[in-house]
Amino acid sequence: MGLVPTMGALHDGHLSLVQRGLNENDALVVSIFVNPTQFNNPDDLVKYPRTLEKDVDLLKSVSEHILVYAPSVADVYGEDVVSVNFDFDGLEDKMEGAFRPGHFDGVGTIVKRLFEIVTPNRAYFGEKDFQQLAIIKNMVKKCNMPLTIVPCEILREPNGLAMSSRNVRLTSEYAAAAPFIYQTLKTAKVKFGTERANEVTEWVEDQFKNHPLLELEYFVIADVETLETVKHKVENKLYRAFIAVYAGEIRLIDNLALN
């Protein structure tokens, strides 16, 4: 059995995970649950799109044999809607964790609960949330959970913007500006081949200082295994660029392998 955990508002990025899950398993569960404990901003939780009927119809268009698990908050948490406190060996303190306190405790809590309820053999996660993916792998290993975490490549819009449920909330003006994020990542990758990590970081920060619409929250070049910020490049290590940007009130994240 495979599991694709989602918060709904499904798009082609989700469907690529679903299709892979169908191809690799005898049965597939897609969970649809907007998890309250991973939102550090209450407004973000309220505004998060909830489109269950549309999501189910979309999944039916892919296959009639998908099991949809769409629990209520009470089904998952009972009366005590709180996160478990996890130790992810410091992976949780960087990047997203630094700007969204408690976020990864919420993620760990819901993902562990879903694994216990569904008991899948494989679970599929997109690399757009690369830090989340690393943290879930860490949790599965520490808790000796008998399943395989399957990473799936980022699916992008034709203009390069990483597919996200939040994209539907972008105004036309911000939707036109948002592909600048991926364009900047691609140039940063080229620069990383010949320049120091801190020089690339400064260049990215300058690009956003001059942008009339997009506001950079962070840009980090990190070691793929530890997620530690790179000070000096080391041969045979893999690095990735991570970015978070505000397009108006919509927060967009992306990342790109650098080598």
Rounded Cα gap, residues 36 and 150, in angstroms: 25
Rounded Cα gap, residues 194 and 42, in angstroms: 43
Give just the sign of the alpha carbon dihedral 71, 252, 218, 42.
negative
Rounded Cα gap, residues 88 and 73, in angstroms: 25
Query: Which is catalytic among the residues 14, 65, 103, 211?
Result: 14
Q: Which residue has the tokens 């900047």?
A: 184
Q: Is 14 assigned a catalytic role?
A: yes
Contact 99, 246 (CB under 8 A): no
Query: Where on the phi/psi map is residue 119: left (φ > 0), alpha (ψ -120 to 50), or beta?
Result: left
Residues recognised as catalytic: 14
